[in-house]
Amino acid sequence: MSFISVGIDHEHAPLDLLERATVVELEWGRVLAALLANKNINEAVFVSTCLRTEVYATIELFHGAVDEIVATLAVATGVSSDELQPHLTIHFDRGVPNHLFQVAAGLKSVVPGEHEVLGQLRRALERADEEHAVGPNLAELFRRSLSTGRRVRSETAIARGSTSFAQATVHMAENELGDSLIGARAVIVGAGQLASGVLRSLRDSKFALGEIIIVNRTLERAEELASGVDDSRVSVTALENIGAAVQGARLIVTAIEATDTVLREHHFEEKTTEVLIMDLAMPRVVDVSVDDLPGVERRDISHLGVIVNKTLADRHTLVDEALGIVEQEVEKFHHDMRSRGAAAIVMELRDHLEMLREKEVERRLADLSDLSEEQRERVVSLTRSLVAKIAHAPTLALKDASGTDRGQRLSEATRNLFDL
């Protein structure tokens, strides 16, 4: 059994490709089923966010598994294998926890240390579990990645300042709009985790907004989000009313999962003020044609680089500290996995020897027929003692070497010698 991860991310693929390769959560179950239908894939977790679309799996054969994963991604996303290939990042065995733990720590994010990625990874694991696609090995890898992410944020200052898309987005809006936000209308399209973060950041903005409207398909979800902040400036409306909501808005932030655009040129024909649109959705849900309208400025995830550069300027030491924690946790994960393997093989060896002992005693019972019950029990006790002594030395060697390369070699040798 080996770990592998295959996918594309914002560090190695252009935004338009990431956009086309994003798979909405409703389709994750179908992707997981398709992955497990391949002969080389044993377990799988599928992650698809605005920054990455990746498959994590336990596999049999490396090259066969890579081909199967890429083919599955091509079908799921509608992006051909030939187009995906040049932008793929592939990690194998030890490289997988190192990569995933860095992702969970926010070290692979546009905004270093951002916390939203933890929720995304947790949901990916939960969905894989719901679809019975994940087993003990991959589940443990993801649980340890989440633990590592929490540790990095608690033991370093990597998460200070703008630590999420939501905060970075509002920070950018404040920088661009300044005092014009005071008393103005802001519109948030969506009511999920990202929209929640945007709402809280806008509520606490140093430029006091006059009105915040949440627009969402499901009105109940928008109302639940609004009630959570308990602010009289916040109101909700259904997605079909988005045209009326954006009229007079100074700021619009889209944070909704949709397969089609929700804002187009005609929505701004009667606008009464200049407007800044921050499109955080992936795929993007604001038609790029609005860029040609006077008084309309559109930004998307690619523009967050401005905030990132400022954030990174004083965080190189913090990134190094976070990487140190990741390295520690990766080492501990590998040690624990090897130790768990040693414990398992010790148990298999003892069970195997005990089975041989029982079969041999049973086969020779006729030869012991002239012995008394007490004498036969002594013979059985003697055989148990002999088996324990035979197993003692290999048991000690396997346990002492657990978590090392030598332990791995001893485990393989034990399996071969005793046909386990």
- In angstroms, the Cα distances linking 100 to 54, 146, 189, 315, 329 are 10, 9, 30, 21, 11
Alpha-carbon gap, residue 402 to 127, rounded angstroms? 33
Alpha-carbon gap, residue 227 to 38, rounded angstroms? 46
Is residue 331 within 8 Å of residue 94, measured between CB atoms?
no
Structure tokens at 355: 């089975």
What pLDDT score was predicted for residue 315?
Answer: 63
Structure tokens at 262: 């929700």
* Same domain for 154 and 234: no
* Same domain for 169 and 120: no
Q: How many Å is the Cα radius of gyration of the chain? A: 29
Length of the chain: 420
Domain boundary among 161, 193, 212: 161
* Residue 365, burial from CB neighbour count under 10 angstroms (0-12, 13-18, 19+): exposed
* Same domain for 139 and 53: yes
* Same domain for 154 and 31: yes
* Same domain for 14 and 96: yes
Is residue 185 within 8 Å of residue 248, measured between CB atoms?
yes
Catalytic residue among 18, 50, 166, 255: 50
* Residue 186, burial from CB neighbour count under 10 angstroms (0-12, 13-18, 19+): buried
* Same domain for 177 and 141: no
Domain boundary among 137, 161, 185: 161
* Same domain for 184 and 149: no
Domain boundary among 104, 135, 161: 161
Query: What value does the mean pLDDT of the chain take?
Result: 88
Which among 246, 251, 285, 248 has a CA at the least distance from the CA of 173?
251
**CATH number of the domain to which 288 belongs:** 3.40.50.720
Tens digit of pLDDT for each residue in 355-397? Answer: 888 888 888 877 877 888 888 888 888 888 888 888 888 877 8
- In angstroms, the Cα distances linking 64 to 61, 238, 395 are 6, 47, 36
In a domain, 239, yes or no: yes
What pLDDT score was predicted for residue 328?
Answer: 95
What pLDDT score was predicted for residue 338?
Answer: 73
Q: Given a cut of 60, is residue 118 above it in pLDDT?
A: yes
Alpha-carbon gap, residue 174 to 305, rounded angstroms? 16
What pLDDT score was predicted for residue 317?
Answer: 76
Q: Give the domain extent around 217.
A: 165-303
Q: Given a cut of 90, is residue 406 above it in pLDDT?
A: no
- In angstroms, the Cα distances linking 32 to 19, 68, 117, 130, 336 are 20, 12, 20, 11, 27
What pLDDT score was predicted for residue 157?
Answer: 82
In a domain, 326, yes or no: no
In a domain, 245, yes or no: yes
* Same domain for 117 and 170: no
Query: 116-130, 187-201, 300-314, 400-414: which has the minimum mean pLDDT?
Result: 300-314
Alpha-carbon gap, residue 302 to 416, rounded angstroms? 54
* Same domain for 150 and 6: yes
Residue 143 has a CB neighbour count (10 Å cut-off) of: 12
* Same domain for 262 and 340: no
In a domain, 316, yes or no: no
Give exposure, 380-406, as e/b (b: 16+ Cβ within 10 Å). Answer: eeebeeebeeebeebbebbeebbbeee
- Range among 37-46, 171-180, 347-356, 409-418 with highest mean pLDDT value: 37-46
Query: What is the arithmetic mean of pLDDT over 62-73?
Result: 95
Is residue 209 within 8 Å of residue 184, measured between CB atoms?
yes
* Same domain for 226 and 122: no
Residue 50 annotated among the catalytic residues of the structure: yes
* Same domain for 139 and 17: yes
Higher pLDDT, 411 or 290: 290
Q: What is the pTM of this model?
A: 0.68
Q: How many domains does the chain have?
A: 3
Residue 14: cis peptide before it, omega within 30 degrees of 0: no
In a domain, 24, yes or no: yes
